[in-house]
Amino acid sequence: MRIAFFCPHSDPLAATGEPDAGGQCIYEARVAEQLARLGHEVRVFTRRWGGKAVRQDICDGATVFRYPMGPEGFLRKEDMGPHLAEFVERTLIRQATWLRHASAIHGHYWDGGATALMASLALGKPLLFTSHSLGILKRDRITDPTPDGSRFRYDLRIRAEKKILNAADAVIALSRTEREALTERYGANAGKIRIVPGGVDTGAFHLRLDKTELQRELGFTTDHLLFTVGRLDPRKGFLELIEAVPIVVETLRSAGKTVTFLIPIGPEQPSPDELAYRHALLRRADELRITEDIRWFHRLSDEELFQYYEAADLFLCPSPYEPFGLVLVEAFASGTPVVATPHGGPADIVEPGVDGYLADPRDPAAFAARILDALLAPETQRRRMRAAAAEKARSRYAWPSVAAAIADAYRAVQP
Ligand code: F6P
């Protein structure tokens, strides 16, 4: 089959640290790659900016094409609405011949869904949609701080999501929570929704069940090492995590133990929003007198990222809302259990007490308590949790099976 991905804001080959580079980019790149391995041809259409090449291969059979839209330079995804039709027009003109023989048009996130919808109408092709994150669920947890709602433009986004869901021939939900929101909050037809989770490259992440030796090699001398990673965005909950740190530090101290938290402070050249968030993190850590217990880091190389996942006793996901939680399955692939938000995909991924715990990051005492449960459990139990996490990554979240399930969805909508 020939499959077209539409994802204007999310370039699958964006480098970590670029604005808007995140789990969605990894997802698109890995799924496109695996579909190509299964013998399909994938073309991914995204916005061109920052002097990137028009055409770039992900692998043999999967290629990214970049077309400009709107103003020069970075454009926030929330501000893309007025330019989406221009993007579709350019793509349809430049890819006319290839698209004529496409089997399915797959939109990612609402900007991708809106452009894919326009393209599918123009071409008469089946439409598939993966939201990656839903406006209604984000709005439940994260208030737009601007008086005119221009930061997140929830109204526009939710209206667009409803139209796309209504028109789509098939919808891929990343978790049960998402399927529930799609049917109950958006009124989507349950019959066209399939749950296919995100995945992990189990070969790339380094699996290690005994962590201490690597911690020492990396220069960490405390008894425990806790890791979290993500874009410097309030949506990732690092500020909430900071509130739980003193509780963990104090409780461990009274048990004669020490701990280091590895927490990101964004790229070396931060955007104004990232800089404001960084300052808020550093200020709050200073007020709470926990600066000594935290090792802040900027952007990590792939190797450093793999090592931190591998060395950590526990991975933390304190997002107020996490649509899926690719980071959790990456931690699992490294043999690292997690303490994660219960809001969104993590509720599907984590089996409490088996491979991690769920706790509301907005309740620092509860979040800290679950971290302590994991760290203070007997070593045999901690080891069992690491092994269970690793086994789940391998058996449930390998990209080839994710891509095979998505290919089934394409097949099912063929006329
Ligand atoms: O913009 C980066 C990104 O991670 C996307 O790749 C992803 O789908 C999206 O954020 C989620 O965005 P939101 O916070 O708007 O729901």
- The predicted-structure confidence for 114-126, as pLDDT tens digits, reads as follows 999 999 999 999 9
Name which of 250, 255, 254, 279 is nearest 266 in CA terms: 279
Instruction: Tell me the mean pLDDT in the region 100-111.
Output: 98
Instruction: Tell me the mean pLDDT in the region 48-60.
Output: 97
Instruction: Tell me the mean pLDDT in the region 325-341.
Output: 97
What backbone phi and psi angles, to 5 degrees, belong to 149?
Answer: 70, 20
Q: What is the CATH number of domain 2-199+398-412?
A: 3.40.50.2000
Q: How far is the CA of 36 from the centre of ligand 1 (A)?
A: 25
Q: How far is the CA of 47 from the centre of ligand 1 (A)?
A: 15
Question: Which ranges of 255-290 does DSSP label H, i.e. alpha helix?
Answer: 272-287
- The predicted-structure confidence for 131-147, as pLDDT tens digits, reads as follows 999 999 999 988 999 99
Locate the ligand 1 atom nearest the alpha carbon of residue 135 and give its number.
16
**147, amino acid identity:** P
Residue 54 confidence (pLDDT) above 80: yes
Locate the ligand 1 atom nearest the alpha carbon of residue 10 and give its number.
6
Is it true that 2-199+398-412 and 202-396 share their CATH fold?
Answer: yes
- Band (pLDDT 50/70/90 cuts) for residue 33 is very high
pLDDT score recorded for residue 20: 87
Residue 22 confidence (pLDDT) above 90: no
Residue 17 confidence (pLDDT) above 80: no
Locate the ligand 1 atom nearest the alpha carbon of residue 233 and give its number.
14
Q: 202-396, what's its fold? A: Rossmann fold (3.40.50)
Instruction: Tell me the mean pLDDT in the region 61-90.
Output: 97
Which residue is closest in CA terms to ligand 1's atom 9? 133
3-state secondary structure of 329: helix
pLDDT score recorded for residue 353: 97
Q: Write down the mean pLDDT value for the chain.
A: 96
- Residue 373 tokens read as 């449960």
Q: What is the pTM of this model?
A: 0.90
DSSP 47-96: E--TT--SEEEEETTEEEEEE--SSSS---GGG-GGGHHHHHHHHHHHTH
- The predicted-structure confidence for 201-246, as pLDDT tens digits, reads as follows 988 999 999 999 999 999 999 999 999 999 998 889 999 999 999 9
Phi-psi region of 101 (alpha: psi -120 to 50; beta: other; left: phi over 0): alpha
Q: Where are the domains of the chain?
A: 2-199+398-412, 202-396
